Structures are given as structure tokens and as C-alpha cells.
């Protein structure tokens, strides 16, 4: 009886080993789940924000998608406290394993799975967490489905360990993680919550951000300061346990409040907002096509066409291509745009303007216009204001560009533009029963000496237009 039982146990073990082998082999071959190819593992897809860098080396702002406001940070630019806190809390044997920590896995199976001890910790390594971030599009909502995702992440984790060093895996993890409040990646998170670079983070600040890695929504220091402080203290305790902090230092830091220097991520905020918006429009401009411009926008069309032909910066993203043949994306390709603006001078200028307008000019303007019925249009009647505003709206396109229209509003004038830039205006006479034609030829005048020659050419053009019209 005992022999049969032993044979049965060995048989079950053998079946289990064979089944495990078949499962992992199928995963490796791509028959079960998705395992990225070697090329993708060696070059994982990231989306990075484009940085605008001032002349004095400061980052003015970024262009990015709302969920990809990420700026890459190298391992050498990370605070040692940040690395110690992350390893101590999330994967204490990170430097010893090859993607899977068997001790942590068995602990998770026995204590968390069988004994239901939720506080015993998970079995995922940092490499497995990175694999989940990179290649698991949607994490399963229940434990059964999540159980089937785990083996796939194990296979990917082992492959990541094969192609990357430990330092690179740590760097990728911190650059990939979403810290909430649109703070994607450690650099953006350090700037958002503490107005610091990752290398400048103190021990307690590093512990705060690492604590958020468990659940950045639950441990959100802006909305749940005390709960996040408690989680920070857990991280500090883990650092002491891993001999990264002394007991005295740990106790001292745990007593400190969680103090933030929070700066909300908003592309409208920050220095030189109008310049940055202008730069964005120039960089992402498309090749001008006449059909996209209204008749009164012809001057703008000619100017844009000249910029497209002669200005390398105009439409840069649509003129240049990446190695894969696609055009550059200002919001996700991690470009670095160096500008001539000095961040310090820009700050002084904005402070001076704000002080002058807010504290001096604007109050006096409101005081002067207080009792005027049609303010600020003092010299206009109420019936004249609306046509003026309508005209202004017609002069402004969807991108905010304003083009002057040299005609009254409302108007009975028709204007036609040729491809070469010539203009014909047609209107009825105000004093005689006749139709009047006005012809305008547009030619370039590069010097004073060319005036008479250009004038003769313009007259010849107008004469040709007149003949074509049968006038």
C-alpha cells in the first residue's frame, strides 16, 4: 500500500514536470500567449516626451501624449537611495536570480495562496514586473486568469535577464512605471512631486516614490498624504532590514512628515507658453496645399510655402523620417529641441510683465473703463461692435493665424487669386452703373535698382490678365 502511494506521488510529480515542460515550451515557441521576438526584447518600444531645452541647459517643458509624459533617465542619474529602496522593497535578491526568485515564488504559493496571508508579499521579481509593464497589455481582473499570465511573464523575464544587465533592468523599470498624476517615469515623477531631478532625491523622498510602485493610485501623496507616508515608512523599514539604513536614521526619517513640492504636469504651465505653442505649430506643420486655405488666406499660403521650401525647421517632423521609414512624432519620439531662450532671463521677463500688468496697468484700465457702457470700445456704437467682432473671427483661422482683409464688412467685392499670386478684385461702382475690375500683380523686389524692371514686368502681367479676361 505504501509502495503504491509512493509510486503514485512519483507519477504525479513526473506528470507535473512533463506538463510544466510542455507549457513553458509552448510559451517559448509562441503557441500559448504572446512572447515578443528577440528583436523587440532587445529594443523594447517606448514612447518619450519631446524636451524643450533652454540655452542654459534647463528643460522648459515637454510635448507628449497624456499617458506617455516620459523623459529617459540613465542609471548614473538615479539617486543611490532610490536604487536601494527599490531593491529592498520589491526584490531583495534581485542581484542573485535570473528573472525568477524560487524562494519568493514558493513563499507566495504557500503563504499567500494556501494560507491566505496577504501581508506575506508577492513572488514577482523586478524583472517580472518589468515584463508585465512592457508586454502585458491588460492585466487579468481575477486570480485565475492572472495565474495563466504568470508563466508567460516568467519566460519573458528570463529572456530580459539574458539580454540586459541588472542596471539596465532597474533603469527600464523606473523609466516605464506610471507614478500617477500624469507623471510617467522616474524623472517626471521626481519633478512633479518634489521639483527635483532623480539624482537629487533624499532618502525619504526616494522611499516615497518607491512606495508608490505598489499602487500609485492607492498611494497618491497628493490625495492620500498620510496613507502614502505610512507606505513610505514601510519602505524605510525594508531599507533598514536590508542594511541600507541604520536603525537610528530609519527611526528619525519615519517621524518626519511627507512634504511635497508638487508641480502639476500641464503643458500650458511653465515658461514661454506662447513661444512653445508657436514652436509646436512650426515643427508639426504639413506641406501647404492651396485647397486647405480660404481665398482671403492666399498671402498666408504663399508665406507657408516659402517657409516649407526654405526653412528647415518648418514642418521638420513631416520632412524627416526615422529608420523605419515613418515620420517623426513630436509627442512620442523623445526629441530634444535646443532653443536660444535663457530660462533665467525668461523668468525675469515674465515676472516683470506679470507685475506691471497685474499690479499696475490692468487695475488702471478697469478703473478707466468702469462707467463706459460699451467698454472697451469707447468710440463705437453698440451696433458697430458685433460686425467688428465678426470680421475679426473671419480673419482668424483654426490655428489662430490672423490675415488682414482689405474690404469693408459687409462687402459686395469679389476677389480671385491666381496660382502665381496675382489678384483680381471685382466690385460695382458706387456712383456709376458699371462694374470695376482691379488687377494686382505680385513680384519680388530684391533691391532698389530692380524697381523699374519689376514695375515693367508687373504692368506686363496686368496687361496679360486683362487680355485673358477680355477687358
**d(Cα 96, Cα 104) in Å, to the nearest integer?**
12
Residue 137 corresponds to which cell in the numbers above?
497589455
pLDDT band at 120, cuts 50/70/90? very low
**d(Cα 160, Cα 133) in Å, to the nearest integer?**
13
pLDDT band at 201, cuts 50/70/90? very high
Q: Mean of the pLDDT values across residues 151-177?
A: 85
**d(Cα 12, Cα 349) in Å, to the nearest integer?**
77
Q: Which of 242-256, 261-275, 328-342, 405-419 has the lowest average pLDDT?
A: 405-419
- 412 burial type by CB count under 10 A (0-12 exposed, 13-18 middle, 19+ buried): exposed
Q: How confident is the prediction for the chain on average, in pLDDT? A: 79
Q: In what order do the strands lie in the sheet with 414-417?
A: 414-417, 423-428, 435-440
Q: Which of 34-48, 251-265, 316-330, 438-452 has the lowest average pLDDT?
A: 34-48
**d(Cα 374, Cα 56) in Å, to the nearest integer?**
47
Q: Mean of the pLDDT values across residues 146-160?
A: 73
Residue 452 corresponds to which cell in the numbers above?
523699374
> What φ, ψ does residue 54 adopt, rounded to 5°?
-75, 170
Q: Computed from CA positions of residues 399, 405, 408, 413, in that sequence, does the dihedral angle turn out positive or negative?
A: negative
Is the pLDDT confidence value at 148 over 80? no
**d(Cα 205, Cα 34) in Å, to the nearest integer?**
37
Number of Cβ atoms within 10 Å of the Cβ of 87: 21
More confident residue, 376 or 196: 196
Is the pLDDT confidence value at 246 over 60? yes
Amino acid at each position: 500500500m505504501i509502495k503504491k502511494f509512493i509510486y503514485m506521488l512519483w507519477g504525479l510529480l513526473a506528470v507535473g514536470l512533463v506538463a510544466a515542460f510542455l507549457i513553458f515550451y509552448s510559451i517559448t515557441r509562441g503557441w500559448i500567449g504572446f512572447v515578443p521576438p528577440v528583436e523587440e526584447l532587445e529594443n523594447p518600444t517606448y514612447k518619450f516626451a519631446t524636451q524643450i531645452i533652454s540655452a542654459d541647459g534647463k528643460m522648459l517643458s515637454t510635448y507628449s501624449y497624456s499617458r506617455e509624459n516620459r523623459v529617459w533617465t540613465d542609471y548614473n542619474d538615479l539617486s543611490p537611495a532610490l536604487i536601494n529602496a527599490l531593491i529592498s522593497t520589491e526584490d531583495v535578491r534581485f542581484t542573485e536570480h535570473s528573472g525568477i526568485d524560487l524562494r519568493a515564488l514558493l513563499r507566495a504559493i504557500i503563504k499567500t495562496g494556501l494560507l491566505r496571508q496577504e501581508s506575506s508579499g508577492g513572488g514577482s521579481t523586478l524583472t517580472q514586473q518589468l515584463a508585465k509593464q512592457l508586454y502585458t497589455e491588460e492585466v487579468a481582473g481575477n486570480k485565475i486568469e492572472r495565474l495563466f499570465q504568470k508563466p508567460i511573464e516568467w519566460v519573458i523575464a528570463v529572456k530580459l535577464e539574458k539580454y540586459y544587465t541588472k542596471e539596465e533592468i532597474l533603469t527600464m523599470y523606473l523609466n516605464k512605471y506610471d507614478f500617477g498624476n500624469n507623471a510617467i517615469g522616474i524623472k517626471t515623477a521626481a519633478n512633479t512631486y518634489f521639483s527635483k531631478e532623480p539624482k537629487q532625491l533624499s532618502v525619504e523622498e526616494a522611499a516615497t516614490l518607491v512606495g508608490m510602485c505598489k499602487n500609485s493610485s492607492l498611494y497618491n501623496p497628493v490625495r492620500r498624504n498620510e496613507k502614502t507616508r505610512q507606505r513610505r515608512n514601510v519602505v524605510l523599514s525594508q531599507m533598514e532590514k536590508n542594511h541600507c539604513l541604520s536603525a537610528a536614521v530609519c527611526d528619525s526619517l519615519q517621524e518626519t512628515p511627507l512634504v511635497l513640492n508638487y508641480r502639476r504636469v500641464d503643458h500650458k504651465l511653465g515658461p514661454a507658453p506662447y513661444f512653445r505653442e508657436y514652436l509646436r505649430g512650426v515643427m508639426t506643420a504639413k506641406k501647404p496645399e492651396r485647397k486647405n486655405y480660404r481665398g482671403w488666406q492666399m498671402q498666408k499660403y504663399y508665406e507657408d510655402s516659402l517657409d516649407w521650401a526654405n526653412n528647415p525647421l518648418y514642418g521638420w517632423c513631416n520632412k524627416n523620417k526615422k529608420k523605419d521609414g515613418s515620420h517623426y512624432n513630436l509627442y512620442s519620439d523623445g526629441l530634444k529641441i535646443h532653443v536660444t531662450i535663457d530660462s533665467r532671463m525668461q523668468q525675469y521677463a515674465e515676472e516683470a510683465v506679470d507685475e506691471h500688468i497685474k499690479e499696475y496697468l490692468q487695475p488702471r484700465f478697469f478703473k478707466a473703463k468702469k462707467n463706459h457702457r460699451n467698454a472697451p470700445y469707447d468710440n463705437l456704437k453698440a451696433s458697430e461692435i458685433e460686425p467688428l467682432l465678426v470680421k475679426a473671427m473671419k480673419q482668424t483661422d483654426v490655428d489662430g493665424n490672423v490675415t488682414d482683409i482689405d474690404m469693408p464688412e459687409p462687402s459686395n467685392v469679389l476677389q480671385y487669386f491666381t496660382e502665381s499670386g496675382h489678384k483680381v478684385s471685382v466690385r460695382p461702382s458706387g456712383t456709376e452703373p458699371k462694374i470695376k475690375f482691379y488687377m494686382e500683380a505680385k513680384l519680388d523686389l530684391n533691391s532698389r535698382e530692380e524697381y523699374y524692371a519689376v514695375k515693367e514686368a508687373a504692368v506686363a502681367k496686368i496687361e496679360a490678365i486683362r487680355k485673358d479676361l477680355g477687358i
